[in-house]
Structure 1
Amino acid sequence: MSDSPNVVLVRRLYDSGMDPAVAAETIDPDIVWDITPGFPYGGVYRTWASAGADFFGRLAPHFAAFGAVAEEFYDAGDHVFVHGHYRAVSKSGQASDARFIHLWTVRDGKLTRLIQAADSHIVQQAANG
């Protein structure tokens, strides 16, 4: 069975490694980016510009590398669930993996909302180590 158009859209973002050109094509500029409390810089960011500057811009300096690896995609109509893990490498070179679930909302061919739940403790340890 082939993927739905919404799964194809979400998969494209993960497969690109959050390439800025792909993000610009897939993410609505007014996205709501909801990061679980306890995760570094957890909170609700209300635009892609804010998520980029206020979340990723503050998170990235804590790591030598950080990325999301999607393992499974679940189609739920206007929503797509993604199960996967974050692969983090601390500034000291220690690698760690932390599981996540992402719930995406798709409207008119764009990603309009992300709700994230993740193993915040592992990410906090990696950010501090």
Structure 2
Amino acid sequence: MSNALGLVQNIYRAFSQGDIPSVLGALAPTIRWTEAEGGPYGGVFVGPDAVLDNVFMKIGAEWDSFTAVPHEYIAEGSTIVALGEYSGTFKATGKSFKAPFAHVWKLEDGKAVSFQQYTDTAVHQRPLQ
């Protein structure tokens, strides 16, 4: 297992356990985090604090049992692609969803320097209505 793959697997493990400080600790200070346009948190966020404020805090406040579970990894040097499934229940409506995702991670010097999300944003938006 490559160091890059192990790092990304540890990020998902920490996220699944609610250990957001460990997730943030794996991100480079200049990480460029891209959430899919059209999704509930679509946009580009630079730095761990921006990811925390614009993604993780919103997920925690707005969703019950939100998960991002990878089922397969594709590793090529310092680039890791995680294929998996999101699920959760939107607190305001009580509606649930499941949607596939592809995440592209790029790593340098033992830290994630970029994250790109691909998902079916229409499916992700349904519970919000």
Aligned with 2:25: secondary structure? helix
Deviations 1:28-66 (CA, angstroms, capped at 9, x unpaired)? 122110111111120100111011102333344332231
Aligned mates of 1:125, 1:75 — CA distance in 2: 32
May I ask how many residue pairs the two structures share in their alignment?
126
Q: What's the offset of the Cα at 1:69?
A: 0.6
Partner residue in 1 for 2:19: 19
Aligned mates of 1:24, 1:120 — CA distance in 2: 24
Q: Mean Cα displacement is larger for which, 36-45 or 20-29? A: 20-29
Q: Mean Cα displacement is larger for which, 59-68 or 71-80? A: 59-68
Q: Mean Cα displacement is larger for which, 69-78 or 86-95? A: 86-95
Aligned with 2:128: secondary structure? helix
Partner residue in 2 for 1:114: 115
Do structure 1's residue 79 and structure 2's residue 79 form an aligned pair? yes
Aligned mates of 1:20, 1:59 — CA distance in 2: 12
Q: What's the offset of the Cα at 1:100?
A: 0.4
From the superposition, tell whether residues 53 and 21 of structure 1 become closer, same or farther in structure 2 (CA, over 3 Å).
closer
Where do 5+ consecutive residues of structure 2 fail to align? none
- Percent identity between the two aligned chains: 27
Aligned mates of 2:55, 2:24 — CA distance in 1: 17
The root-mean-square deviation of aligned C-alpha atoms, in Å, is 1.6
* Moved >6 Å (runs of 4+): none
Do structure 1's residue 100 and structure 2's residue 101 form an aligned pair? yes
Where do 5+ consecutive residues of structure 1 fail to align? none
Q: What's the offset of the Cα at 1:23?
A: 1.4
Aligned with 2:100: secondary structure? strand
Aligned mates of 2:121, 2:38 — CA distance in 1: 6
Give the structure-1-normalised TM-score: 0.88
